[in-house]
Structure formats: C-alpha cells, structure tokens
Amino acid sequence: MNILVTGGAGFIGGHLAESFTRAGHDVTVLDNLEPFYDLGIKKHNVQAARDAAAEGDGSYEFVEGSATDATLVDDLVAGTDVVYHQAAQAGVRTSVEEPLKVNRYNVDGTLNVLEAARDADVDRVVNASSSSVYGKPEYLPYDEDHPNEPVSPYGVSKLAGEHYVRVYNEIYGLPTVSLRYFTVYGPRMRPNMAISNFVSRCLRGEPPVVYGDGAQTRDFTYIDDVLSANETLLTDGSADGEVMNVGSTDNIDILTLAETVRDAIDSDLEIEFADRHDSDAEHTHADISKANDLIDYEPTRDIREGVDEFIDWYRANRDWYEPLVLNS
C-alpha cells in the first residue's frame, strides 16, 4: 500500500514509518524538521526507516515540508491509500507561549490534510489526537464521552482538529479515525518528557526533578502499543468515524514514576522538587474499552516493564541520545 505519514520524522510518526516500510509498504514522510528538540533524534528516525527499506521490499521517501503547505500536501496525498496524520506542534507549555503557531500547525495543517484526502478519495485518514482534549477530569478513567474542557491551547487545537476530522467523515464520507494518545514513551522519545528526563539525570548521578508535589498522575503508553493500534487501522474500517482512547489503563503518579526510575538506576539519589506549570493536566487515565471493542486493542506493558525496557534502550544508545537530551 501507499502510505503517507505526516510528521513522520517525529517520535510516533518515525516509528510508524519504520514499521510500515519494514512490512513492505511504500511510505512517504512529510516533516518540516521543526527544531522543537534536537534534530539529531529526528534524523535517527528517518535513518531507521531508510534502513528498514533497504532491508526489505518496502520503499521510503522523505519530503521536507509542512502540512500547512496546501499545495505540497495535495501533491503528496494524490495516489496515497492511507494517511497517518501525525504532524503537529507538540508541547502544552509551548502552546501557552505560542498559541497562534500551534493553531496554524495543528488546525490549519489538519484541514489541509483532510481537504487533500477528500479530493484524492483515500481509503482512510488516521488522525493523531491527545488526552489533552479532556482537561479537568469530572471522573476517571476518561471515556470518550467525558466532557472536553482543555486547559491549554495545545488541547484546544487537538480538539478542533478532531471535530474537523469527524465532520469530514459525516458530511463528505471520508473514512477517518482519531486516536487520543495518552503520554506515549519508548525508544527515541522526545527528550523533554518526564521519563527521559528522569532516566537521563539518574544515569548521570543527578537526582530526578519532579514538578509540583508529584501527586499528579499519568497514563503512560508504550510506543509498541500505539503502533499496534495504528497498524490495525491500515486495513480495518470498523472504527471509521470514531474517536478512541489509546492508553495503557495503568496510570501512575509522577513521584512514584521518579522513584521507579531512580530505584532502577541509583537508589541513593534523592528526589528534588520544582514549581509546577499551571497548564499541566492534574490527572490522565484512559478507559480503552472502546478501542478494545472496535479494533481489539490491548496494551502489552505496564509502566514498570516499559520503563525497564526504555532504560535498557537508553544505555545501549547513550552515545547519541544522551548528548541531545543534555543540549535540549
């Protein structure tokens, strides 16, 4: 199949591109190489997919450009079977500082993809959304019917994108699915995320820093589980028109996460605390029953298993990954 992955040099998009290429598909990646974090990590994502193409029957093409470029998006979507729309300006705190930029990338870019997909009559658009659309919890775990009251411009932008995706399905008949990711982590993850920061500091003999009192909770999702959900949607249309949570159901408070990482590396380190950012969500916890019912989604790792795997990967790739973390 011909697959387009927007944001395909990023963390999740890079893994998707590599996986689909390795499976023998013809993959095109669109990414503007936004220097939100060190571009060396994105270049490793691109290289991993190129290596997968060299080892198998799939092909891989990287196109540097933005989803905000409607003409470019039209050209790339033409002839594509399935679009995985991962391109976005990430970062809750970044969105507070630059809301117009986040809206341009996350809303305008999504509209460009949807318009091009409608014109090209693609088989499906799989849209990357976020648990940030929920905001303040009225109850936990979040199911897809929970009210949406995002607490950051990033969350608002992802919710707006979701609504456009839904409308293009309902009005134009474009097969679409939106996946609400819950804090995805794993190899080649963004270096400014809690787990990578904790591991980096502990391996350097420095205490992990927790923002706030550490009582806030997160549902961390291992990258392989996210890949599994997306891979199913390549040919499975049973979730067309739907929004689904993709999480782990295994939430953990941030202090316990820091202690888990610390104990796995150097139990003598003391936890340090710093001021918490107001735009950070207090709690996230996914109800994944809908994804389980529609696409048989089932997470394979709890947070402790996933952390152990990430620490092992980090140690093996420390020569290129850690310097980028330190410089980010």
Catalytic residues: 154
- 257 with 218: CB under 8 angstroms? yes
Q: C-alpha distances in angstroms, 133 versus 48, 180, 182, 266?
A: 31, 8, 11, 36
Backbone angles phi, psi at 59, to 5 degrees: -120, 160
Residue 175: cis peptide before it, omega within 30 degrees of 0: no
How far, in Å, CA of 69 to CA of 112, rounded? 8
What is the helix, strand, coil percentage profile of the chain, to 5? 45, 20, 35
Q: CB 1: neighbour CB atoms within 10 A?
A: 15
Confirm if 58 and 24 have CB atoms less than 8 A apart: yes
Q: Name the strand (E) or helix (H) holding 14.
A: helix 11-22
Kindly give the pairing relationship between strand 217-219 and strand 251-253: antiparallel
CA distance 308 to 304: 6
